[in-house]
Structure formats: structure tokens, C-alpha cells
A and B are shown apart, each in its own frame.
Chain A
Amino acid sequence: MFKWRFFLSTLGVVFLSEMGDKTQITTLLLAGSKPTYVIWVALGSATALICTSFCEVIIGSHIIARYFKPKTINLVSAFIFCVLGILLVFGVIGNINLY
């Protein structure tokens, strides 16, 4: 059975956290600098992002989930999400001024 809950929550969070990120700025600048080869920039960016997410999935499920208890992971991830949220809201990280 396909679990839509995990799918949609991951989709939303990754999409939102990728927005306004340094990766996005880089792709934007690369696409702007090579307007004739925009498709190849998009392809390169997409393949790189898929490869990195593959690495993350393998590391997360095979290394972190094996050596730590689920409760510890839950607490640590809650803490990290809160810290990242506070830092993002107050503009400590992720502030890139283009202009």
C-alpha cells in the first residue's frame, strides 16, 4: 500500500526548505548565465539533487536508524527542526541577498 501521508509531508517540507536556498540561487544564476542551455542546466541540477537525496535516504535508513533508538531520533529531530525553524524565522541562516 502506498502511504500518502509520508509522501505528501516529505514533498511539502523538501519543496519549502529548498525554496530560497543556496542551491536554488546557484541554479538560478547558472540558468541566467547560460540561457541557451537552460535544459542542460536543469538536467544537471535535477540529477545532482536526486543523487544527493539517494545518499541521504541510504544514510538515514541504514546507519542512523540502526544505531539509535526511535525515541532518541524523534527527540533529536524535533529539536533540530525547532532550531532550524527559529533560525530561519529570525533570518540567521538562509539569508542570501541577490541585489
Chain B
Amino acid sequence: MSIKLLTWLSTYIIIFLCELGDKTQLAVLLFTSNNPREKWNIFLASSLALILCVIVEVTLGVSLARYIGPNVVNRIAGGVFLLLGVLIFFKSLNIKEKLVRIINEKIIAKARKSPANSENIPISLQIKANEDY
């Protein structure tokens, strides 16, 4: 076995073991379980991101790490994760759909109360309100 293949194999094993149970793994796992139909899309995106990371590490990494440092980058990643968590949480509550439904009901109720003012109400809702009579 040549030294090139040995280098490849040792890096492979070390990185594979390092990556198990990592936060990147957790993120990809959650993404695919959220959208199982998009698994090949997500696989493509995550492998592309990881390859880009490897390129950054191998080329710029050594000199860049001296100026920025992993701590700052970790903070930025933490901020993005927090934002993502809050967004997914609000998405799972279906707040937008509920709000739209409540507003529609209010408009219809208003139309029922005073049919004379129905010029201000959109036509589709007018029809719905009239059908209810």
C-alpha cells in the first residue's frame, strides 16, 4: 500500500469517526426527516457544502483560522441555528393559516351585520357572505 492510499484511508477513518454524532449530522438528519421526499436534494446539498468546507479547510484554513478563530464562527452558526429553530417552531404552529381564517371570518361577519356596506368587501367574500344567508 502506497503512502498516498494510506493517507487517504487514515483521513477517511478519522473524519468518519469524528463526524458521527456531530451537530452537522444532527442538522442533516432533522432536514431529511422534515422533508423525506427531498432526500436526494438534501444529500446533494449537504455533500456539496461539506466538499466546499474541505476545500476551505485545506487551502485557506491554516491562515484564516489565525485571524477569525473557531469561536467567532461558532457564534455565527449558533445564531443561524437559533433563527432556524424559531422559524420551524412558528411554521409548525400554522400561525399564518389560522390568522387568514380568523380575518376571513371577521370580514364575513361584518358583511352579515351590514349588507349595505358591502362595496368595501372583495367580490369573492361578498358571494360567500350572500350564500350564507
Contacts and interface: CB of A to CB of B under 8 A. Distances in A.
Size band of the interface chain B makes with A: 35 or more
B67 interface: no
Interface in A1-22: 2-3, 6-22
A90 B52 CA distance: 27
A88 B76 CA distance: 8
A11 B48 contact: yes
B78 A84 contact: yes
Contacts, number: 292
Nearest to A76: B30
B39 A44 contact: no
Contacts of A75: 89, 92
Given A52-B16, A53-B28, A84 B46 contact: no
Interface in A64-97: 64-65, 68, 70-71, 73-91, 93-96
B22 A57 contact: no
Interface of B: 3-5, 7-16, 18-20, 22-36, 38-58, 61-62, 65, 69-89, 91-92
Interface of A: 2-3, 6-28, 30-32, 34, 37-38, 40-54, 56-62, 64-65, 68, 70-71, 73-91, 93-96, 98
